[in-house]
């Protein structure tokens, strides 16, 4: 089974989140989408039932740059799913 993956990078405030929101709304509507973020900006990811996101804090990644077990992984991530509001 193949799973498509995209890596979207860019400078701060360059439109990465806007692009992701547009893709989810217009092209990937109805598909399960996982977004892994290492930074968050002012623009928020849109809420969606099939949009899942994992956010890793910079400080935690600096303290634990390599993941050897799942316990460390769970400490450094915040997972959000569904239509909850900010």
Task: Please give the pLDDT value at position 55.
Answer: 80
The three-state secondary structure class of 7 is coil
Q: Select the more confidently predicted residue: 85 or 59.
A: 59
Dump pLDDT digits (tens) for 19-78.
Answer: 999 998 888 888 888 888 877 788 888 887 788 888 877 777 777 766 555 555 555 655
CA dihedral 11→80→51→45, nearest 10 degrees, is -40
The pTM (predicted TM-score) of the whole model is 0.67
**Phi, psi of 8, rounded to the nearest 5 degrees:** -115, 120
Q: Which residues contact 49 (CB under 8 A, 6 or more apart)?
A: 82, 83
Task: Please give the pLDDT value at position 81.
Answer: 56
> Contact 65/73 with Cβ under 8 angstroms?
no
């Amino acid at each position: 089974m193949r799973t498509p993956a995209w890596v979207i990078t860019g400078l701060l405030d360059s439109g990465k989140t806007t692009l992701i929101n547009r893709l989810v709304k217009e092209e990937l509507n109805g598909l399960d989408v996982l977004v892994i973020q290492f930074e968050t900006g002012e623009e928020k990811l849109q809420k969606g039932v099939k949009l899942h996101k994992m956010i890793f804090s910079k400080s935690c990644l600096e303290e634990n740059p390599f993941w050897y077990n799942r316990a460390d992984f769970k400490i450094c991530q915040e997972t959000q799913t569904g239509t909850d509001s900010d």
